[in-house]
């Protein structure tokens, strides 16, 4: 997946090849799991991920979740149209290392700031890293709302998440 990700970033591979490679990696992982019984596979970390309230677009979020999983993360996928309260509830219950939020619509971008504010009010913001992504977002916007990072695409998002947990 690292090689495919680098080729995607270099415009040698297209999005469809990135998706297929991720699906193949997931299948291989599932095929190998029965042969690794008794061996505890150490996860890099846990990520709670979702598309924010008001937004039903989840293709980008699904690609990021799939790539994070194949990179070794445990994924808690909340789906799409996720409220700030649901993000907070899952952060409290799951105790993830990272919260990932996605938005495709400009009108739903503000919900990311709402989620971060809810995490602060709940005393959970300092316990997780927050990464945001989606077509209308920018690095400046991520900083403005208090996110730790912005992933311009799935490959960059995974690299950022890995950098947070790999010592």
Residue 144 belongs to domain with CATH number: 3.40.50.280
Within a domain: residue 21? no
Q: Which domain does 142 fall in, by range? A: 43-165
Task: Give the total number of structural domains in the chain.
Answer: 1
pLDDT tens for 67-117 read 898 888 999 999 999 999 999 999 999 999 999 999 999 999 999 999 999
pLDDT tens for 25-34 read 777 766 766 6
Within a domain: residue 131? yes
Within a domain: residue 111? yes
Within a domain: residue 137? yes
Within a domain: residue 12? no
Contact status, residue 1 vs residue 25, Cβ threshold 8 Å? yes
Closest CA to 81 of 117, 51, 102, 49: 51
Within a domain: residue 119? yes
């Amino acid at each position: 997946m690292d090689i495919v990700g680098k080729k995607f970033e270099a415009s040698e591979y297209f999005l469809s090849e990135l998706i297929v490679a991720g699906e193949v990696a997931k299948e291989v992982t599932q095929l190998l799991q029965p042969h690794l019984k008794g061996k505890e596979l150490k996860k890099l970390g846990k990520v709670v991920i979702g598309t924010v309230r008001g937004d039903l677009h989840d293709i980008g979020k699904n690609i990021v979740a799939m790539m994070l999983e194949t990179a070794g993360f445990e994924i808690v996928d909340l789906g799409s149209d996720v409220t700030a309260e649901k993000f907070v509830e899952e952060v409290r219950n799951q105790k993830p290392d990272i919260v990932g939020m996605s938005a495709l619509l400009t009108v739903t971008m503000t919900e990311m700031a709402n989620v971060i504010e809810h995490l602060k009010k709940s005393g959970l913001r300092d316990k997780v890293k927050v990464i945001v992504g989606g077509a209308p977002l920018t690095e400046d916007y991520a900083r403005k709302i208090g996110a730790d990072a912005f992933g311009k695409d799935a490959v960059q998002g995974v690299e950022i998440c890995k950098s947070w947990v790999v010592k």
